[in-house]
Amino acid sequence: SRAMALLDESIKRYRNRDENCKPSNATINIMANIITNSDESDRETQVLALFQSMEDIGFKPDLVSFNIL
C-alpha cells in the first residue's frame, strides 16, 4: 500500500541518520492497525515484520502495540 511504502521510506531515511524522518510509535501502531483490519491473507506476518522493523531501529513496542496483535 501507499501508506506502507511511505513508512518504509521514512524508516530507511531514519536508518541513514535523517532525524527528520524518525517515525513514532504512534505512526507504527497506526500502520499496524491498518494492516490488522485489512483483507490481506498475510496480515499477521506483515504486522510482525513491521514490529521487527520497529525494534531494529530502536523502538520498543508499547501496550498499544501489543493490543493491536
Over residues 32-64, the pLDDT tens digits come to: 999 999 998 999 999 999 999 889 988 888 899
User: Got the DSSP string for 21-47?
Assistant: GPPPHHHHHHHHHHHHTS--TTHHHHH
* Arithmetic mean of pLDDT, 21-36: 92
Predicted TM-score (pTM) of the model is: 0.82
Region of 17 (left: φ > 0; alpha: ψ -120 to 50; beta: rest) is left
Q: For residue 5, what pLDDT is reported?
A: 92
Are the C-beta atoms of residues 55 and 61 closer than 8 Å to each other? yes
Task: Tell me the C-alpha to C-alpha distance, in Å, between residue 27 and each of 34, 41, 48.
Answer: 11, 22, 15
